Structure 1
């Protein structure tokens, strides 16, 4: 078996194996270590010996044996061999349980729900999801979010400690609790994608690795929940947004606004897939915010040019979205749509009202939108000041350069 297919198979099986171990034994930390050792063993042996008939069962067996060894050592250090003997299975009984294959998908979903438990901070949810379900190393997660590895190690450790202390059982929640936990999962994947598509810090505008990982995990969620319209909407939104990425950055890494992008460079296959997903999800109901956002993204992507964009329909969809979400970012996007469909003066009045509320704080998007609308109204001096204010607030170098360029270009 060649390296690349083996790597892909192992990556897809990793959360299923980890989920099976956590479901059976608990001990999130130790189960993760045992899973990693089983994956290393497979990467070494499968290219030489061939892939087993049931690769998941092979991995669960090896990982369970390794987990037993680790737990026995840990308990021995704590002088609790008597307790270990009461609950650790002998090595000859460590074949995977009969329901492993049937529960594999559920194990992965429950692992996602565990990592995205609302009791954890958003930072810990993201880190644990990328580490346990995404299969990224701690160093890779740290690089993705531009923090020292030691910082990310502490963040992940705090998340695991919170799970241990909370006593959250490894099971599929039911009813309202399940809905709340699924909402947390979707939100975490959405945050991962957003950080990849519009990086908050660093020199680059895009983090393609984070976008790709968010889409991969959204595909996984949609596969596990094929009848969940919001899982389909989230995946559609990511695909439709990411489809524009090739035209969003210029030759020197500069930001290219949507109105100026070469639409022939947009990924037609992703647009088609995203449109198909949201078109199938919307009639099923209930309609949620990710489906509405995907419908907005589809209107942008299907317009042959910026001038042909159906801003009236986009404005109407944002009005639906504001009824679902009290997010100030949604309100700001709604103001942009109003400006494009009804005129910049009406849009600017909405931006000023939002600014007076103070809900966006130092977010650079608000002065950037204000600058653009002032520019449309012909007030170059005020637009320049707003662009410079947005640049001062931005922590992304590519965004800063773009905003400074707009400010300089609009100088009389």
Structure 2
């Protein structure tokens, strides 16, 4: 059910005309597929057991229910291609990426059916957008198609050399981007698995960064630079060098700002790290400036918005603005999208709540009117933060 619910949520959030995309009802009646869609979207069905019992009075493993579920799943996947990227919330980068991916799928189908002229005409159009937005994987695939076309289908020595040279260049870029991403993923995975076992003085981040640093002169793509600077910031953070980390964050922001199309999320990542540095350095006025700059780039209720609110709450606590800290916590946890946060992120907010409860207990924070059932219970709290309880960091 989780896969279907995610698809339903995607279709619902993007305001697709679900009735048309899922298929018209027969004789004016709502089809069973549409009925299942709307009941999942409204939250009436949370599990497969509920849906299977409602429609067939059986278990989820029943063939009739599985067929119904698969029909809905297939229609929802088809509906993804009709997402309107011109609605609010889609950056230029988002629009370009989704459009290029859809059109590239069309190119592959056209080539498969022998319509090579149409396919190449569309591929050339995609190629220009992919070059501007540095979609390296698409550039590798399209240049491969074009060099094949101009070598066999429509022989042209000049164009063959041109696209062959570009293919070589983009393969190298793609490989470097993949290497940078791979090293960053390894670092994050190692951190998650060995959270409390890091050896003093050992820095995978620094090793990985030094491995990539010589490549920065040749490659300045968004995807490559982002991961290289993430590793550099992580290396400096591990050393506890917050001043240098803040400088590295500014360096990353400036490097990315030189690229015209970079999405706001890329800047937010480094603004958050910079804010952490200023909190550690007790440079709260600068921290407040960073918070305000980050807020301009965020959508309220998004994952990044919650991350900003969490850091802002920490800033308020450090500056002893306890009432402000409580207001931030209340606004965030009462937001409709709070329930969609992952378990680990939600645990952070449970810990913040415990801090605020302690401030209330010692008389540093007053709530008007006093909340009912607000008595802090340690056992209940520990049960609500299983991840942090294991690492004893809560």
The TM-score normalised by the length of structure 2 is 0.43
Q: Between Structure 1 and Structure 2, whose CA radius of gyration is higher?
A: 2
TM-score by length of 1: 0.42
